[in-house]
Structure 1
Amino acid sequence: MFFRSFFDENLAQMSYLVGCQQTGEAIVVDPARKIGQYLITAKNEGLRIVAVTETHIHADYLSGARELATKCDATLYVSDEGDENWKYEYLDGLKSVLLKDGAEFTLGHIEFKVMHTPGHTPESISFILTDKGGGSSEPMGIFTGDFVFVGDIGRPDLLEKAAGFANTAEIGARQMFHSLQRFKGLPDFLQVWPAHGAGSACGKALGAVPMSTVGYEKLNNWALKPEDEEKFVKTLLSGQPEPPKYFAMMKKLNKIGPELIEGGRIPELHNVEELGKYGKATVFLDTRGNADFARAHYKGAINIPFNKSFTNWAGWLIGYDQDIVLIAPGDKVDAIRESLRAIGLDRVVAFIDSALTLVDKEKTESYGEITVKELYELLEDDNYQLIDVRNQSEWDEGRIPAAIHKMLGVLVNHLEELPKDKTYLLQCRSGARSAIATSLMQANGYTNVLNVKGGYLAWAKEKFSVAH
């Protein structure tokens, strides 16, 4: 048997290619939209991708299942659990098999047995793999999707918080409790292959180790220890992070079917004057580091640095009805575009090299930064307002006196509450998120904005008085 895992560090997402080396057939489990990685690996290993499957309708990234099945003329194996709200709607014209609890299918000499594991979502299923081609009658591992992670489990509140299904969080938590009782009955030696690692918003505290075993999780995963259902439900629902705004769109698109990706490069602009033809609904997205952006940038641009957090914040801050013009070095454009496609932000209409936008000084602007010592001196001045853009849990743990809380992901929704005659001081944990927030406010017409270097960590280090 051939087995290869793939990890997208921007989304903390895991996918898998499994092949029967005796028959040359392969299947991809929970594919990302970046399908080239599977095609190349399969070709290099002498395998043909004949099947595609996924554990549930994902909310945090755009699935590559439809793209891969179409490209390879492969059979789709997908869940038929859950009610009518959780059925795949794009299967017409594709070879597909709908799966219920207890169903089995084979790929060459590899057997997959379906286990319905609701809780994260109603239709969630896991796959128990047995390598019969290797002579084993015992299973090797289980693809758990967003059911069981290393050290954590999938959150049950996304349907309510992100997809808008009222009063479903507690129902999901109770389903999760009972699904975990079935999981506990699996052999301890079974390997656990989850769909996410540390950094994913699909759980509270996912481990950074890529795989585990059932036995290890029974010993160490907090969620597998409680025997009392009420206590479990309360613990699971408390402290869950804010789900990114784009999660609702991912659920919708993965249900109805993501658009197939069209080839070709986007137009390159060769001077700053060409940017003038794009209307106010266009997002000018500058992906440089925040220090470079702060020194000088195209007026009206927002700054989301191209790093591990890029995809997450792009999903929070860019609308699916907006065109995007990238401001970035030419050699980074394809990678940036691929990261945006991973969450369905396909409307990139052009790009311009960031250096060209800085030539015309009349079309550039900048913003300043202050230290926490300078901030301390300004807090008593009514002309200044401190805005804390951290998550709710961070705010609850401690904050700087006089700050108001406007989490970065929803900051633009509250701009009407902020008069433009003040100077705004933006602060987060370290200064990175507040730099993005500073660019957002400046792009929306706030001319007096300053980023607080070092953020709350620097404030706490200086041992200033902190209100709780």
Structure 2
Amino acid sequence: MLLERIYDEDLAQASYFIGCQVKGEAIVVDPRRDLDVYLELAEKNGMRIVAVTETHIHADYLSGTRELAAKTGAQMYVSDEGGPDWTYGADFDEATRMKHGHQIVLGNITVEAAHTPGHTPEHMSFLVTDGAQATAPGFMLTGDFVFVGDLGRPDLLDEAAGFVDTRFGGAKDLFASLRDQFLPLPDYVQVLPAHGSGSACGKALGAIASSTVGYERNFSWWAKYLENNDEQGFVDELLNGQPDAHAYFARMKRQNKLGPAVMGTVRELREYSVEELTSALTADSAIFVDTRANSAVHEGTVERSLNVPGVAKAASYGAWVYDPEHEQRPLVLLADSREQAEQMRDHLVRVGIDTVDGYVLSLAGLELVKPATVEPENLDSVDAALLLDVRNRTEYSEGHLPGAAQLSGGRLMWHLDELPEEGTIVTYCQSGVRNSVAASALRRDGYDVVELEGSYLGWLAVPGNTPVAA
């Protein structure tokens, strides 16, 4: 058996390629939309991708299940658990809809679906048996059910999908899933989750790629509650202190349930000339994306540009500031090379931003402006209508500037009604990176924004400044 973990550092998301080397057949679990990594793995190992599936209706990225099926002819498999509100849409009519216990057989390999609700009602985990070595499962692909050292949060349906108080039922479902589907497994079964450290799908995910049932049974925070059958204590601790859910999660939920658009052949990016870009920006027919660090952006950038700093977190930050359901103007990227622009485009399509049209290799010849900033020592000189902390609410509660309100960068552009209609807004985050992203989107929307240089850490370094804890 071949089992490969494909990890996206941007979204802290893992997909899995499982192949039978004897039969030359493979299945991909939880794929993203840019497919080259899966196709190259199949070619390298002389395999055909004949099946594709996913653990649940994802909220943090746009599923590549339909994309991969269209590209390879693979059979789709999706959950048919969770009730009518969690049934996949008509775009999945050609998929096999799985109930608990459904088996997908690839030569010597059996992939068995186990219904593990809690994070979402339809959630499936997959028990993998390598028939060439064993007669029982040795691996469990747990999706957003069990992470290394943590569990999938059950409150996303409330936070991101518009439901009300489903978190309590979800937490109880998660308790039952652990009791009935996870703990009865042998200690040696390897746990392969869909997310790692940095994901907003849990509050304390480990950075280690995998675990075992025995390790989690003995050392995870939740184990004592299961051992004592303390459901209420489990629910209380699970729900306490969950991070802010990004607003774009709601769009991902809708699109993943109905069926993400299939991109097919990706159009080649074009290099814009200075004249072409200037003309497009003047006509407001394109949006410029400055991909440099905030320190460089503060030295001068294109007016009304968005700041999405670099490839590494392009999907995460891009989805904060660009909503493709309400914005169709093409994006033009600042890039060091065509290859870098293509990498950034590939990251953006993972969150459904399919409108990258081209790139420029330099700012030379473009008219630049300096974003308004203020040094921490001079903060009192700004007559601000609002001092805005764009960090996560958990960071805010640990310490913030006196008088600051909190609205995380990932939710900001969907909650503009919480901002003053007039006046200056002073914004900050922890170090300035997220602040620059959020401030660029606010400026593009017409707000008068001043960024606090150095953000929270810069302000803390000023003698006499004392933060407030919530």
Shift of 1:163: 1.1
**Equivalent residues in 2 for 1:4-43, closer than 5 Å:** 4-43=4-43
Aligned to 2:334: 328
* 186-195 or 455-464, which deviates more: 455-464
Whether the 8 Å CA contact 1:283–1:318 is kept in 2: the answer is: no
Does the 8 Å CA contact 2:290/2:307 hold for their aligned counterparts? Answer: yes
- Distance in 1, matches of 2:42 and 2:89, equals 28
Aligned equivalents of 1:14 and 1:6: distance in 2?
6
1:177-188 to structure 2, matched below 5 A, reads 177-182=175-180, 183-188=182-187
Post-superposition offset of 1:421 = 4.8
Q: Which amino acid aligns with 1:402?
A: G
* 1:311 aligned to which of 312, 315, 320: 315
SS in 2 for 1:316: helix
Residue 139 (structure 2) aligns with: 141
Q: Alpha carbons of 1:408 and 1:260: their partners in 2 closer, same or farther (altered >3 Å)?
A: same
Asked if 1:346 is matched to 2:354, the reply is yes
Question: Which sits farther off after the overlay, 263-272 or 178-187?
Answer: 263-272
Residues 411, 78 of structure 1: alpha-carbon distance in 2 compared, 3 angstrom cutoff? closer
Judge conservation of contact 2:151–2:202 (CA < 8 Å) in 1.
Answer: yes
Change (3 A) 1:415 1:297: farther
Question: One-letter code of the match for 1:316?
Answer: W
Residue aligned with 1:206, SS = coil
**Which position in structure 1 is the counterpart of 2:98?**
99
Q: Give the CA deviation at 1:368.
A: 4.8
**Per-residue CA distance 1:3-55 (angstroms, 9 max, x = gap):** 11100000101011111111111111111112111111111111111111111
Query: Residues 294 and 432 of structure 2 are in contact (CA less than 8 Å); yes or no, is this contact kept in structure 1?
Result: no
**Deviations for 1:237-279, whole angstroms, at most 9, x for unmatched residues?**
1211111111111111111211111322134321245444465
Distance 2:241 2:330 in 1: 34
Output the aligned Cα RMSD.
Answer: 2.2
Q: Distance in 1 between matches of 2:270 and 2:25?
A: 39
- 1:387-429 alpha-carbon deviations (Å, 9 max, x no partner): 222122222222112333343234344378436554x432111
User: Hey, what's the Cα distance between the residues in 1 that align with 2:170 and 2:5?
Assistant: 28
Whether the 8 Å CA contact 2:92–2:259 is kept in 1: the answer is no
Give the aligned residue type for 1:48. R
Shift of 1:437: 2.9
Mapping for residues 424-435 of structure 1, pairs under 5 Å: 424-435=425-436
From the superposition, tell whether residues 418 and 333 of structure 1 become closer, same or farther in structure 2 (CA, over 3 Å). Answer: same
Secondary structure of the structure 2 residue equivalent to 1:247: helix
Report how far residue 316 of structure 1 moved.
Answer: 2.1
Q: 1:23 to 1:319 in 2, by over 3 A?
A: same
Q: Deviations over 1:90-115 (max 9, x none)?
A: 45673x32211122231101112221
Asked if 1 retains the 8 angstrom alpha-carbon contact of 2:6 and 2:14, the reply is: yes
Report SS of the residue matched to 2:140.
strand
Give the number of equivalent residue pairs: 457
**Which amino acid letter does the alignment assign opposite residue 183 of structure 2?**
K
Unaligned runs of 5+ in 2: none
Give the CA deviation at 1:198: 0.6
Q: Give 3-state SS (helix, strand or coil) of 2:120's partner.
A: coil
| Higher alpha-carbon deviation: 212-221 or 438-447 | 438-447
Partner residue of 1:337?
345
After superposition, where does 1:17-96 map in structure 2 within 5 Å? 17-90=17-90, 94=94, 96=95
Aligned-residue offset at 1:453: 2.9
Are the aligned partners of 1:26 and 1:49 in contact in 2 as well (CA < 8 Å)? Answer: yes
1:162 aligns with 2:160: yes
Partner of 2:235: 233
Distance 1:281-1:248 versus aligned 2 partners, 3 A rule = farther
TM-score normalised by structure 2 residue count: 0.91
Report SS of the residue matched to 2:132.
helix
Q: Is the CA contact (8 Å cut-off) linking 2:385 and 2:420 kept in structure 1?
A: no
- The aligned residue for residue 127 of structure 1 is 126
Higher deviation after alignment, 311-320 or 206-215 = 311-320
**Structure 1 unmatched runs, 5+:** none
Quote how far apart the aligned CAs of 1:224 are.
Answer: 2.8
Distance 1:165 1:420 in 2: 32
Equivalent positions of 1:269-284 (< 5 A) are 269-272=272-275, 274-277=277-280, 280=284, 282-284=286-288
SS in 2 for 1:311: helix
Secondary structure of the residue that 1:162 maps to in structure 2?
Answer: helix
Could you tell me how far 1:467 is from its partner in structure 2?
2.5
Relative to structure 1, the CA distance from residue 17 to residue 400 in structure 2 (aligned partners, 3 Å threshold; closer, same or farther) is same
Cα deviation, 1:293-345, whole Å, max 9, x if unaligned, reads: 11111111121212433312211221112123223124221111111100111
Counterparts of 1:115 and 1:351 in 2: how far apart (Å)? 44
Distance verdict in 2 for CA 1:119–1:416, change over 3 Å: closer
SS at 1:33's partner residue? coil
**TM alignment of 1:291-440, pairs within 5 A:** 291-320=295-324, 321-322=326-327, 323-329=329-335, 330-331=337-338, 332-348=340-356, 350-353=357-360, 355-356=362-363, 358-360=364-366, 363-375=367-379, 378=380, 382=383, 386-412=387-413, 413-414=415-416, 417-418=419-420, 420-422=422-424, 424-440=425-441
- For the 8 Å contact 1:22–1:133, the answer to whether it is kept is no
Instruction: Supply the AA of the counterpart residue of 1:436.
Output: V
Q: Quote the Cα distance in structure 1 between the aligned partners of 2:389 and 2:452.
A: 10
Note the C-alpha offset of 1:184.
Answer: 1.0
Identity fraction in percent: 41
**What are the Cα deviations for residues 150-176 of structure 1, in whole angstroms up to 9, with x where unaligned?**
000101111121111223111111101
Distance 1:113 1:440 in 2: 45
- Residue 369 of structure 1: how far off its partner (Å): 4.0
The answer to whether the 8 Å contact 2:244/2:408 transfers is: no
8 A Cα contact 2:287 2:330, kept in partner: yes
Q: CA 1:364/1:18 → structure 2, altered by over 3 Å: closer, same or farther? A: same
Give 2:108's aligned amino acid: H
Flag the 1:4–1:384 CA change in 2: closer, same or farther, 3 A: same
